[in-house]
């Protein structure tokens, strides 16, 4: 194998690993698997959504907000689409991913409305991500979420499995 072949193979493997990172985050959000969610960020990762007026300077601050903010949700489906990954160098990359997110339940923080209010949202947005390879593993260092289409009352159907959804034994 030539050096060019090895470089191309490494870039494909890195893109695959970053795509897996994006999917592991989405899976963790949907299933409310907070332990898995904690593994996808560096400790000093920033998560922000200017439209919602939120910004967190550490992964733990974001995780605490995500955990408490989703406890009143009976449905939260977070689906990534079409990630585009750009390798900056061997240890840094950027990605943009279209997101479709649906959630329904009762608010437990004041970001989406008054606490205790019924909430029912179907939204699309884009994640603008910065990722780094730390100790051989790709992780988010910054996630900027930009919603672009929000439908109120669009989540219909019966919730037949409670959150968190734990892997059957």
Domain ranges of the chain: 3-152
137-152/41-49 β-pairing: parallel
Place of tokens 């004041």: 110
pLDDT at position 111, please? 74
Write the pLDDT tens digit of every residue in 12-48.
999 999 999 999 999 999 999 999 999 999 999 999 9
For residue 94, give the H/E element and its range.
strand 92-106
Is the pLDDT at 131 greater than 90? The verdict is: yes
What's the chain's average pLDDT?
A: 94
Write the pLDDT tens digit of every residue in 48-105.
999 999 999 999 999 999 999 888 999 999 999 999 999 999 999 999 999 999 999 9
**Averaged pLDDT, 116-131:** 96
**Averaged pLDDT, 99-112:** 89
Out of 107-111, 141-145, 150-154, pick the least confident.
107-111
> Which pTM was predicted?
0.93
Q: How far apart are CA 85 and CA 129, in angstroms?
A: 9
Could you tell me the fold of the domain covering 3-152? Nuclear Transport Factor 2; Chain: A, (3.10.450)
* CA 129 and chain centroid, separation: 10
Among candidates 122, 80, 121, which has minimal Cα distance to 98? 80
**Averaged pLDDT, 100-121:** 89
């Amino acid at each position: 194998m030539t050096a060019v072949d090895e470089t191309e193979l490494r870039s494909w493997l890195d893109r695959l690993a970053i795509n897996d990172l994006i999917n592991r985050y989405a899976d963790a959000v949907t299933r409310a698997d907070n332990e898995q969610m904690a593994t996808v960020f560096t400790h000093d990762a920033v998560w922000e959504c200017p439209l919602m007026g939120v910004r967190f300077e550490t992964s733990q601050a974001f995780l605490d907000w995500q955990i408490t903010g989703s406890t009143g949700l009976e449905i939260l489906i977070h689906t990534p689409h079409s990630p585009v990954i750009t390798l900056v160098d061997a240890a840094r990359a950027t990605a943009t991913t279209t997101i479709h997110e649906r959630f329904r339940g009762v608010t437990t923080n004041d970001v989406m409305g008054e606490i205790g209010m019924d909430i029912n949202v179907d939204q699309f947005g884009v994640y603008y991500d910065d990722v780094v390879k730390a100790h051989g593993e790709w992780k988010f260092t910054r996630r900027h979420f930009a919603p672009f289409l929000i439908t109120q009352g669009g989540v219909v159907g019966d919730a037949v499995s409670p959150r968190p959804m734990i892997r059957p034994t």
